[in-house]
Amino acid sequence: MTASPLAWQRDGSGWVLLAGRRRRGRVVPDQKYPGMWRSVKFRGQLSDMSNLSWAKNAVLVAAERELEFEDRQRRAIDLQKCPEKRGVSGKQSSPVRSIAEAAE
């Protein structure tokens, strides 16, 4: 899988991190302290205050972690990489002995 490159784009007074057209995080200016920034977390909660570069870095690290998780999930269900390729109704016999063989 080739991931879309992450890129920052201006969004009003803040910044948004995009992977292709998908939004991966936001950084907004603090309402009370000029020059300070906060990242927008899950359900609109705001992070602690920091300067712009630290706030952007926090969003970038979280986005990279999320992309890595999604990639691992995608690879886990990829049938091309499945170690067992014979399927459910394979021609090989079961490794368990049948009842008739055990009775002999």
Domains of the chain, residue spans: 6-80
Number of Cβ atoms within 10 Å of the Cβ of 43: 5
User: For the segment 11-53, what is each residue's pLDDT rounded down to a tens digit?
Assistant: 999 999 999 889 999 999 999 999 999 999 888 899 999 999 9
Where does residue 17 rank: exposed (0-12), middle (13-18), buried (19+ CB within 10 A)?
buried
Global pTM reads 0.66
- Residue-averaged pLDDT of the chain: 83
